Amino acid sequence: MTFPYKGYAGHYLEVDLTKGKVHKREMEKEWARLYLGGTGVAAKILWDRTGPETDPFSPDNVVVLGTGPLTGVMFSPSGRFMFASKSPLTGIWAESHAGGFFGPEVKYAGFDFVILSGRSPKPVYLFLRDGEAELRDASDLWRRETDVTTDMIREEHKDPDVETATIGPAGENQVLYGCVVVDYYRAAGRTGLGAVLGSKNMKAIAASGSLGLEAYDMDKYLEANQKEMDRLNDPLWKDFLVSLRKYGTTDLIAMINEIGRLPTKNHWTGFFDHAEDIGPEIIAKKYRTGHEACHGCAIGCKYIYQVKGGDYPSGPAGGPEYETLMAFGSNCLNRDLESVFHMGTRCDLLGMDTISCGKTISFAMDLWETGMITKKDTGGLDLSWGNVDSMVQLVEMIAKREGIGDLLSKGVRKAAEIVGGEAWKYAVHCKGLEASGQDPRAHQSVGLTYATNVRGADHLRSLSCLEELGFPEVAIARFGKEKAAAIMDILSPKHKGEVVKDIEDLYALVDSAVICKYGTMWPPIFYFDTFENIIAPLTGMDDWSSKKHVREAAERICHLRRAYNHRLGITRKEETLPKRLLKDPMPTGPSKGGLPDLEHMLDEYYQYRGCSLTTGYPSREVLLSLKLDYVAEELERKNMLANCYEQKN
């Protein structure tokens, strides 16, 4: 039967790297109807094909490249795609998203998903073009940095418009936070997916396509799309969109430092005295040379920078984003902006997550300050706070896994285990993923977001910007006037369980559609009704015009990802925060004295999610109501349902 829904390319690929075989399959109808695309479909695939016995670096692990029905269509912003797998860094659910032009090109080449399994006996890359796919030899590309790899692939095909997603030397060397880079300087950065591809001898995926996409009802789709674009142009969002267009995400350095939530000195505090030295104004005035947008985006938050002369000449290149400025800047007490540019760009070229890299370096600086590591361990490097020369060298050493770089290539959790003693106190992570640029001591709901996030200490699965950046009108509209005051109190834990659950559901749809967080997270323009409005006329899936169906799909995706982690051993015990963020009061800045009330928020979150307050496990009733019968059956066999666990214990 022909795949009936529009907006999709209609096919996916099964790639057996061990055998060197590529099989084209028709998209599964139920994947679209129940899980939409992107994250949702990837969760179903990984549930079926990986589990507790799967070593992330074994041929048995699976990598999913996914797009969604909104990827590459006339919707802003629609230039996204995602990768998912079992993480070598955390050992649990892994997903990472990126923008640019690669995702749409994969769909124009005729594919919604690519499922990679096995291990190639030699380096290869996958080439997609107009419904055809082939594995090509990548021996000449191996050991190349990401920009050179992209250029060589384009030259091989005599086509400058070929889009690539490629790993660098860090992924090849299986640095546990190796990433995937597209468009030279956009990265699917987190959880080590580049390392998984490296373990499979998979250097890149390249796509070039001219196949069109159809809407089920073009007139109604255009009408629905215009309705959403009118929301984007509402005066309520004007100042925030002006900021994004003028500064990109660098403006967050100033905004977040002002509320005392800018990670500084390996999350010791949330206030950086020299924030203006790495902030938006100096970047815009001194280093900006160009402005870009991802495919189909009306916001346009991407910029080009260049450093001419000095110790670290670099560029023109993209960025840097807020998280990179934080990771190599305030986080390491480094106010040398040009060195931050340099390290961020080197990570892009080496194929390495800037957040985990910067946080691992700051972890090492903490150990140096306490005397737990010395020059004997570092090969002579002085890891004092803000020592730029040592930081720059460490980036290269980590990517090559040379000297102390080998230890730091494993991430802070595993490095702390190897160092031993009290090193764990300085490893700022959740579930093995280094913390991104937030701090729950200054923003209560961030603590819950970090603790419950299926991939670890990261903001992109459920961060609430309502109270962070000030959207009381939205809080009232979504949760009611009687709850809005407490929700808008950034230091109050009250109602934050409900808020985080709601936003996690929303972002699950965003990541399955697949679109950008800007416009949904910050500013909070698009909501569940956006999907009710736009998916049905695009695809012909009438169910998606129903509020009930849309909400259930969001919850289904969230519960499936959580269940994936339960099966790997994650319970309430693991849904916690590192000591520094949970027990050590904020020492300085506007949020001095702050601590998160995590237990209160977790209880509320589990109640709204339909999970056990003791374990975090879901109830059978909730899973069955979401058509997750197969999940309920397996979790029951493992004594991982709320009901059966509490009855037997």
**Order of strands across the sheet that contains 302-307:** 288-292, 302-307, 314-318
H-assigned helices in 141-217: 146-156, 169-172, 193-199
pLDDT given at position 241: 83
Q: pLDDT at position 1, please? A: 63
Q: Distance between CA 23 and CA 114 in Å, rounded?
A: 10
Arithmetic mean of pLDDT over the chain? 96
Distance set, CA 205 to CA 7, 265, 426, 433 (Å): 22, 37, 37, 26
CA distances from 60 to 19, 85, 325, 557, 638 (A): 13, 11, 37, 23, 22
Q: What's the confidence (pLDDT) of residue 645?
A: 46
Q: What is the pLDDT of residue 212?
A: 92
Q: What is the mean predicted confidence (pLDDT) over 132-136?
A: 98
Cβ atoms of 173 and 399 within 8 Å: the answer is yes
Full 3-state SS string of 27-85: CCHHHHHHHCCHHHHHHHHHHHHCCCCCCCCCCCCCEEEECCCCCCCCCCCCCCEEEEE
CB atoms within 10 A of CB 233: 12
Tens digits of residue pLDDT in 70-102: 999 989 889 999 999 999 999 999 999 999 999
| pLDDT tens figures, 171-191 | 999 999 999 999 999 999 999
Q: How confident is the model at residue 445 (pLDDT cuts 50, 70, 90)?
A: very high
CB 337 within 8 A of CB 282: yes
Q: List pLDDT tens digits, range 280-330.
A: 999 999 999 998 899 989 888 889 999 999 999 988 999 899 999 999 999
Task: For the sheet with 11-16, list strands across it.
Answer: 21-26, 11-16, 113-117, 63-66, 81-86, 93-98
- DSSP annotation of 611 reads B
147 CB burial (10 A radius; 0-12, 13-18, 19+): middle
* CA 146 – CA 307 distance, rounded (Å): 20
The pLDDT tens digits for 494-553 are 999 999 999 999 999 999 999 999 989 989 999 999 999 999 999 999 999 999 999 999
CB burial of 485-511 (b: ≥16 within 10 Å; e: otherwise) equals: ebbbebbebbbbbbbbbbbbbbbbbbb
Chain centroid offset of residue 321 CA? 14
All structural domains of the chain, each given as residue ranges with its CATH number in brackets, are 11-208 (3.60.9.10), 253-427 (1.10.569.10), 444-648 (1.10.599.10)
- Tell me the residue ranges of DSSP E strands in 438-565: none
- Cα-atom radius of gyration of the chain, to the nearest Å? 23
Supply the pLDDT for residue 648.
Answer: 47
For residue 412, the surrounding DSSP H or E stretch is helix 411-419
Of all residues in the chain, the percent with pLDDT exceeding 90 is 93
Provide the pLDDT for residue 498.
98
pTM here is 0.97
Place 646 in a pLDDT band, splitting at 50, 70 and 90: low
Query: Is pLDDT of 644 > 90?
Result: no
Q: Are 568 and 37 in contact (CB under 8 A)?
A: no
* Residue owning tokens 């490249």: 65
Torsion of CA 144, 148, 149, 153, to 10 degrees: -140
Strands (E), 189-285: 202-208
Residue 187 dihedral angles phi and psi, to the nearest 5°: -130, 135
Which residue, 553, 505, 556, is CA-closest to 497? 505
C-alpha triplet 374, 377, 383: angle, nearest 5°:
55
Handedness of CA 633, 637, 641, 647 (dihedral sign): positive
pLDDT per position as a tens digit, 339-356: 999 999 999 999 999 999
- Give the pLDDT confidence score for residue 238 in this predicted structure: 84
- Other CB atoms within 10 Å distance of the CB of residue 28: 17
Is the predicted pLDDT of residue 647 greater than 60, yes or no? no
Tokens for 220? Answer: 């109604």
Which residue reads 């107009």 in tokens?
130
What integer pLDDT is reported at residue 511 of this predicted model?
98
